[in-house]
Amino acid sequence: MLLTGFDAPVEQAIYLDRHIKEAELLQAIARVNRTHSCGAVQKGFGIVVDYYGVASHLKEALKAYSAKDIEGALQSLKDEIPKLRDRHRRAVGVFTSRDLDDIDDIEACIELLREEKVRAEFHVKLKQFLVTLDIVLPRPEALPFVNDAKTLASIQARARNRYRSEERLIGKEVGEKVRRLIDEHIISLGIDLTIPPVVITADDFEAQVDKHRSSRAKASEMEHALRYHIRHHFDEDPTHFQRLSERLKKILKEVDGRWDEAVKALADLVREAKAGRQDDGATGLDPVTEAPFFGVLKEAVVGQGPLTGKTLDDMCRLTVEIVDHVRQEIAIVGFWTKEQAREDLGDWIFMTLDDADVLPFKGLRAISDKLMELAKANHHRLVRS
């Protein structure tokens, strides 16, 4: 009822320059006090700039309403300043509480954010700090906190890129004033958050790694680029990417703390991962479309001894037969949305495995399910080929 004749939820401030009281004063506050959230527009409060001194009439105007209805209707910006100090201390405390005294040591801060739990804690505390900073700005009391806000936001942006995390950009969750400060600072550092972190298959990956000054930072960048690559492509070739993952763990364990050695070893692994699965020279299978299926079948019989002679030949023929049939079936338009078609292909794979008599019957259903998942993950390769 108080919003009669005024419906602009994104209005941020109202300026009072004449005497108003009672219902008109409440209406003035209500008109600007609507919160709003839509895309990049985030409004959590409104500002009443009182040039005339009418706030003294607020108690009188509120007498007709219950305490619950009018709780927090009007607060002084001065009340936010202690809150700003506290939230700044908490955001910086993510690092100082973990024996890191200087947030200007950007690389050390990024390294501390390696764990997802710590990144989540930092994100929450940084958001609270920046939201309060946006409320207080441009009052002079807020100015001492601006540089730390820029530094902390750049740390969050760099950590987000380094660890290829899915966290929301902090700038989208705070007000316009602070968002502009953050965006301008991050862009000045050469960080473009609209561009995804560079992947190891990019032509300029090595050049991007070389931009880091320390060996520790280079090793960290390669490590997490490899982790992202393995995680992102794992379903396409589980056995191959599992081996890469195990290689990565072994390297990190062997060169722990020796960053120059880590850079060299990880660079070799990056080149291997970038090259992809290669022809093994023994099976004659296509490394892109057939070898992943062979890997699943081979893994199922690993406990029965190495594949040699007739067993190896039988497994290769079985792989080719399955891949050829799968390729034909999934080429049907909308195959993966058709439940009956999926069930028929799964049953065919199960019966083909059973007829081949090279795998234990007990695990055939699980293996056929894995092969179906593999087919779906490689749909673009199988159909295109």
Tens of pLDDT along 10-27? 677 788 888 877 777 777
Whole-angstrom distance, CA of residue 113 vs CA of residue 359: 46
Indicate whether 173 pLDDT > 90.
Answer: no
Amino acid at 331: A
Q: Closest Cα partner for 14 from 66, 59, 52?
A: 52
The whole-chain average pLDDT of the chain stands at: 84
Between 170 and 239, residue with greater pLDDT: 239
* Whether the Cβ atoms of residue 236 and residue 378 lie closer than 8 Å to each other: yes
pLDDT score, position 21: 74
Helix spans in the chain (H): 22-32, 58-62, 67-70, 80-96, 106-112, 116-136, 146-162, 176-188, 205-210, 215-233, 238-254, 259-275, 291-300, 309-330, 339-356, 364-377, 379-384
Max distance between CA atoms of the chain, in angstroms, equals 98
pLDDT score, position 35: 72
Q: Which two tokens stand for residue 243?
A: 């081996």
242 backbone φψ class: left, alpha, beta (φ>0; ψ -120 to 50): alpha
C-alpha separations of 350 from 55, 86, 90, 321 in Å: 78, 62, 57, 13
C-alpha separations of 80 from 35, 69, 137, 175 in Å: 18, 22, 11, 15
CB-based contacts of 13, cutoff 8 Å, min separation 6:
32, 46, 47, 48, 49
pLDDT score, position 253: 93
pLDDT score, position 306: 64
Q: What are the residues facing 43 on neighbouring strands?
A: 36
Three-class secondary structure of residue 183 per DSSP = helix
Q: How far apart are the two ends of the chain, measured CA to CA in Å?
A: 65
All structural domains of the chain with their residue ranges:
13-75, 79-188, 211-275, 307-384
Indicate whether 106 pLDDT > 50.
Answer: yes
Amino acid at 90: R
Q: Which two tokens stand for residue 145?
A: 């906190």
pLDDT score, position 19: 80
Please count the other Cβ atoms lying within 10 Å of the Cβ belonging to residue 3: 13
pLDDT score, position 72: 60
* Whether the Cβ atoms of residue 263 and residue 222 lie closer than 8 Å to each other: yes
Q: Which two tokens stand for residue 216?
A: 């520790």
Whole-angstrom distance, CA of residue 371 vs CA of residue 322: 9
Mean predicted confidence (pLDDT) in 240-245: 94
Amino acid at 28: A
Between 341 and 191, residue with greater pLDDT: 341
DSSP 216: H
CB-based contacts of 86, cutoff 8 Å, min separation 6:
none
* Whether the Cβ atoms of residue 65 and residue 33 lie closer than 8 Å to each other: no
Residue that has been written with the tokens 């070893």 in this structure? 265
pLDDT score, position 171: 64
Whole-angstrom distance, CA of residue 207 vs CA of residue 209: 5
Confidence of residue 1 (pLDDT cuts 50, 70, 90): very low
Between 285 and 38, residue with greater pLDDT: 285
Please count the other Cβ atoms lying within 10 Å of the Cβ belonging to residue 131: 19
Three-class secondary structure of residue 303 per DSSP = helix
Please count the other Cβ atoms lying within 10 Å of the Cβ belonging to residue 193: 17
* Whether the Cβ atoms of residue 300 and residue 363 lie closer than 8 Å to each other: yes
Amino acid at 377: A
Whole-angstrom distance, CA of residue 192 vs CA of residue 320: 45
Give 266-290 pLDDT, tens digit per residue: 999 999 999 999 887 788 899 999 9
CB-based contacts of 222, cutoff 8 Å, min separation 6:
200, 209, 263, 266, 267, 269, 270
Confidence of residue 310 (pLDDT cuts 50, 70, 90): confident
pLDDT score, position 27: 75
pLDDT score, position 2: 45
Indicate whether 7 pLDDT > 60.
Answer: no
